[in-house]
Structure 1
């Protein structure tokens, strides 16, 4: 017994230095990442054997240095205490541009060089310059295309979802989902109005907003959010908070959505009845709510279902897909989420999957629970979407006896 206790203590003491070193290393990531984002493309484009004339090399290096210094400064002024929109736009655009440039500098800098070497195409300076122009060309095309994708009104994605416990009277119930509108430094009031017009064409019974309305307070982004008051729903318009609300006075957003005619489902539910059958429509605060320190805000599924008949099917709104573990444990039938943006700018997709159980689309969890993860309606920060198109989603709920296919891609 004594030996075991001493071993545990020794193990704990041995692990502690490793943990502290890891924590120290993680603190350096915000400093190292921007350097890599700008230094790697600088080397690939200017110093990888191209032998550019000296004025070209110096001018190019100056551009990268300005980007490295200017990006964090602009983001600090834009998203810090100053909240200067012009600085946020500048910093976010530089962040997105550097991410795309970094990605394709790495991919083409390695694989295109290898392919050219194997093919015997070009040697030395010629091969290096081919890589340079390829990186610049691909980056330019993706940034222009990504900007257009981010700023357009999302296409509508339609799918049928069969819920085994859904009563026949509710078969064909239409649920429209928007999420992650992220009204922010770029004024998107006209875009917001057009999104709402598109939602109205869907003739939905229930319209849901799954959080992350904006970056900024309700007072500051009111003009962009106001078109949400024009959204029409046959039975209900419901909303849950996202993590970004808790960066910007969440209660203000809850109050504004209520003012605009949306029902905030703050760990609560409502009943949708039709044809003698009932569906529970529930919602929870985002999982970051409790750590925000805002009184009365937390993700509380038991509270959301309090008073609901456990035999009834449940449609749950929860901003982050990872809440599905709790939803599956409670036998929730369908959870609707956003948060991931589908990765927004490839290959950020792979990093999102480390934190979340799903990136986009319909997935199964546990014995009963379905999760639908939207790629989001707007965009966060960098005004680009690359290989991650935005969406407005129309889900048609189907009872088991419905001849319609249970799901569609």
Structure 2
């Protein structure tokens, strides 16, 4: 057997074990995610009447069993919108209940130390968890569905020529047009962007969850966005679940430059700026022909004396930007955590959560909290944004 054959066949022998481990991991996570709220709200010393206990247990059991089925139906190959909305909303609700149920157990401990008897202490904690969760979910719904506020940031790029000083770049990212119809929201975003007198408008990916044919109406207002110099776009990881090449082609049809490992040059007042883009870091493993992160291709032919603005979906791609002498990378992907305290998990995978950061003497990174939302239709302590970056010369 050759080395090539060994590499080819090795994954096949491991697949059953990997599948079992994956299934066990998912099962354990779901039992924990649903079990902790059940324990806090239904069990754990509340001493509810039998009818309340049984009803609560049935509700949690049905939600636990149906959730993975709905997730598969909603986010599987067919992108069925009805199951997706139910599953995503369930995920958001159970996450908030999970977090505050843990905090609720701390409250039970405090009340126990204070001498409050059972079941009063457990019922007080249950009431607190429910009230706080309902308030946060209501507020989070409003935050997720509103047109984002404009976040204004100035970025000094020492290599930027004086002719481009004050260039206004509007960043959109993670619009995630999805199963909840948001065409009106999309038009609102376009209206706000068009008040900002942008020289360049950039979209750094995760444009939609679903195929072009499913999300065409929600994406349509992008065609009306105005920019005096360029409108540019790169893929995010979610494009690779939803027909990435078709989205690249559709964005081009809407009048946007799809920076598929390529660049454009904008010039004003005798000075120029290279605007480059690379595919998302998941592109190479997606199986979509010709899609992969390629900084060298993106900058091929660019004058090395010119400053470089790079569009890359994930902040983690900053390592490639530093290696290739990029002046400013703009990214999204993190959503600013979207639902507290999920941002702690995001930071395990990404170098930054949001905002402007420096990663070498030359290279800076701006990470947006995102324009839309993914999955759960909630934003809790992580507001969305339309970003206006004003570029300044030294």
TM-score, with structure 2 as normaliser? 0.94
Question: Is the CA contact (8 Å cut-off) linking 2:40 and 2:104 kept in structure 1?
Answer: no
- Which residue in 2 is equivalent to 1:73? 69
| CA distance in 2: counterparts of 1:291 and 1:73, whole angstroms | 26
Q: Distance in 1 between matches of 2:18 and 2:183?
A: 44
Q: Please, which of 20, 24, 32 is the counterpart of residue 28 of structure 2?
A: 32
SS at match of 1:175: strand
Say whether residues 1:44 and 2:40 are aligned partners.
yes
* Rounded Cα–Cα distance in structure 2 between residues aligned with 1:82 and 1:327: 35
Equivalent in the alignment of 2:270: 276
Partner of 1:330: 324
Name the Cα RMSD after superposition: 1.4
| C-alpha separation in 1, matches of 2:245 and 2:79 | 19
Shift of 1:367: 2.0
Residue of structure 2 equivalent to 1:186? 180
CA offsets, 1:2-31, max 9 Å, x none?
xxxxxxxxxxxxxxxxxx999964552212
Q: Is residue 2:166 matched to residue 1:172? A: yes
Report the 3-state secondary structure (helix = DSSP H, G, I; strand = E; otherwise coil) of the residue aligned with 2:264. Answer: strand
2:356 is the alignment partner of 1:358: no
Q: Which moved more, 1:69-78 or 1:380-389?
A: 69-78
Report what 1:407 is aligned to: none
Could you tell me how far apart the structure 2 residues matched to 1:45 and 1:381 are?
Answer: 25
Matched, 1:383 2:383: no
Tell me if 1:340 matches 2:307: no
Counterpart CA distance in 2 for 1:83 and 1:373 is 28
For residues 35-73 of structure 1, the C-alpha deviation after alignment (integer angstroms, 9 at most, x for no partner) is 111111111111111111111111111111111112112
SS in 2 for 1:280: strand
Match of 1:115 among 110, 116, 119: 110
Q: Which runs of 5+ in 1 are unaligned?
A: 1-19, 401-409
CA–CA distance in structure 2, aligned partners of residues 334 and 29 of structure 1:
39
Residue 276 of structure 1, CA deviation: 1.2
Q: Which runs of 5 or more residues in structure 2 are unaligned?
A: 1-15
Per the alignment, residue 8 of structure 2 pairs with none
Q: Which residue of 2 aligns with 1:17?
A: none
Matching residue of 2:130: 136
Distance 1:30 1:373 in 2: 30
Aligned to 1:249: 243
Q: Report what 2:194 is aligned to.
A: 200
Distance 1:348 1:342 in 2: 9
Pair 1:136–1:242, CA change in 2 (3 A): same
User: What SS does structure 2 have at the residue aligned with 1:65?
Assistant: helix
Q: Which residue of 1 aligns with 2:5?
A: none
For 2:330 and 2:232, locate their aligned partners in 1 and report how far apart those are by CA, in whole Å: 12
Give the Cα–Cα distance (whole angstroms) in 2 for the partners of residues 294 and 81 of structure 1: 15
Q: CA deviation at 1:117?
A: 2.9
Report the CA distance between 1:114 and its aligned residue.
Answer: 2.5
1:247 shift after superposition: 0.7
Partner Cα separation in structure 1 for residue 22 and residue 245 of structure 2: 32
Q: 1:292 aligns with which of 273, 286, 290?
A: 286
Tell me the matched-pair count.
379
Normalized against structure 1, the TM-score is what? 0.90
Say which SS state the counterpart of residue 244 (structure 1) adopts.
helix
Q: Over residues 225-263 of structure 1, what are the superposed CA-to-partner deviations in whole Å (9 max), with x where a residue is unaligned?
A: 001001000111000001111111111101110010000
Output one character per residue of 1:190-239: Cα deviation in whole Å (capped at 9) or x when no partner: 10010011011111100000000000011111011001001000111000
Separation in 1 of the partners of 2:145 and 2:286?
31
Distance 2:290 2:128 in 1: 54
